[in-house]
Structure 1
Amino acid sequence: MMLSFFDQFMSPVFLGIPLIALALTLPWTLFPKLTTRWLNNRLLTLQSWFINNFTQQIFQPMNLPGHKWALLFASLMVFLMSLNLLGLLPYTFTPTTQLSLNMALAVPLWLATIIIGMRNQPTHALGHLLPEGTPTLLIPVLIIIETISLFIRPLALGVRLTANLTAGHLLIQLIATATFVLLPLMPPVAFLTAILLLLLSLLEVAVALIQAYVFVLLLSLYLQENI
């Protein structure tokens, strides 16, 4: 029995071993591997179609040097989607509800885009801190504001993913608890809450997919600014 609704977000431990490592490595075993056959099966064809369309949509407006990141971003997208969706299954744990994991993904990738911009075109990268035509009196204040907004980007990436998934899981837990409590007392009301729970579960599936896409999309926009 859970002492708190937030206990579901604690990393499970078995024999003193945190199972978050297993939760992070398990999705890779579920993906179908490419074969040497002339024709792929339906699952491989669907996976290839999704990855091709995703990479084309993300990297079409980007310069040619940014296309080197296609494999990394596509892998990150599939990885986050798998973690988010597997966390919706019963008796599972969602690693992406941990802010430490999301920040560990966001900070290095964001920092890599900044380093690339400072190395390849430092003038253009620093130019984002001061838009052209700014009044002289506003220059110091605007530079401080733009610098803060630059350093808050990885925090926004990690917090957005964590908050959306945590809020969805909490709502599902609350409505499921209400359904079980109301079932012996008011069955019609419990039936309505069960329908609401089903709709919320479908919404949470969409949120799991959308948040993974938004995470990678924002990283691609940061990369586009520095290439």
Structure 2
Amino acid sequence: MMTNLFDQFMTPKMFGMQLLPLTLLIAPMITFVKSDRLHNNRFVTLSHWAMKTITKHTMTPINKPGHNWAPILISLILLLLTMNVIGLLPYTFTPTTQLSMNMALALPLWLATVLIGLRTQTTSSLAHLLPIGTPTPLIPTLVLIETVSLIIRPLALGVRLTANLTAGHLLLHLISTATMNLTLLLPIISPLSMTILMLLTILEVAVALIQAYVFTLLLSLYLQENT
């Protein structure tokens, strides 16, 4: 049973061909629509409004030198949104449920923010390792604690995204399996489980959107400390 439960985290194939690349083409096919109209349609207008809102909320707390990161952060949140939401469709695969994928995104970006801080404002960046007013005997201990806290930031980013999406997918799989079995065994109770499944699906879509935003927002806060 456990093998079947975790088979959803394997890349699905049909006729010997992986379906993930075809699924990822859905987003650019919908987004980049060539048109000769003078006015944008509702979807393009809504997309532009969403990008402006996300950019405003993401870049507002960052100092002006950090605004050069706007294209990177917006591209990152679009990538995460695409992978998280498309992974909820049937016969697809969510790459962000893999810790290696999330660490490959979190580690280089976190390291870039740290290196920028050390290059542009070395004193201020190192000052974060020691709070103001620390007693002299506690200085070595606090420096060690803050250093460990700084180092585990990318791990926390990757594990947070992986754990939330993996838990949601497993719960959806369990509830959907129970719903299918109850439909045959106890048809009277099956509408209740179906309602729970629908509510859980809506919740999982919200989690997919929120986790992409949280991942990008935390990176922007790390960037704020180093610019």
> Which TM-score band (shorter chain)?
over 0.9
Report the more deviating stretch, 111-120 or 72-81.
Answer: 72-81
| Deviation, structure 1 residue 141 | 0.8
The root-mean-square deviation of aligned C-alpha atoms, in Å, is 2.1
Write the distance in 2 (CA, Å) between the matches of 1:126 and 1:20.
Answer: 43
Counterpart of 2:135?
135
Deviations 1:138-189 (A, max 9, x none): 1111111101110100001111111100000000000111111111221122
User: What code does the residue aligned with 1:3 have?
Assistant: T
Query: For 1:160-179, what aligned pairs fall within 5 Å after superposition?
Result: 160-179=160-179
Structure 1, unaligned stretches of length 5 or more?
none
Structure 2, unaligned stretches of length 5 or more?
none
Counterpart of 1:70?
70
Determine if contact 2:11/2:18 at 8 Å carries over to the other structure.
Answer: yes
Q: 1:13 to 1:183 in 2, by over 3 A?
A: closer
Equivalent residue pairs, number: 227
Query: For 1:188-203, what aligned pairs fall within 5 Å after superposition?
Result: 188-203=188-203
Determine if contact 1:27/1:83 at 8 Å carries over to the other structure.
Answer: no
| Deviation, structure 1 residue 201 | 0.2
Determine if contact 1:24/1:95 at 8 Å carries over to the other structure.
Answer: no
1:157 aligned to 2:157?
A: yes
| Deviation, structure 1 residue 21 | 5.4
Counterpart of 1:146?
146
Write the distance in 2 (CA, Å) between the matches of 1:226 and 1:36.
Answer: 44
Determine if contact 1:27/1:79 at 8 Å carries over to the other structure.
Answer: no
Q: Could you say which structure has the greater relative contact order, defined with CA pairs below 8 angstroms and 6 or more residues apart?
A: 2
Q: 1:192 to 1:132 in 2, by over 3 A?
A: same
Write the distance in 2 (CA, Å) between the matches of 1:159 and 1:43.
Answer: 33
Q: 1:25 to 1:220 in 2, by over 3 A?
A: farther
User: What code does the residue aligned with 1:174 have?
Assistant: L
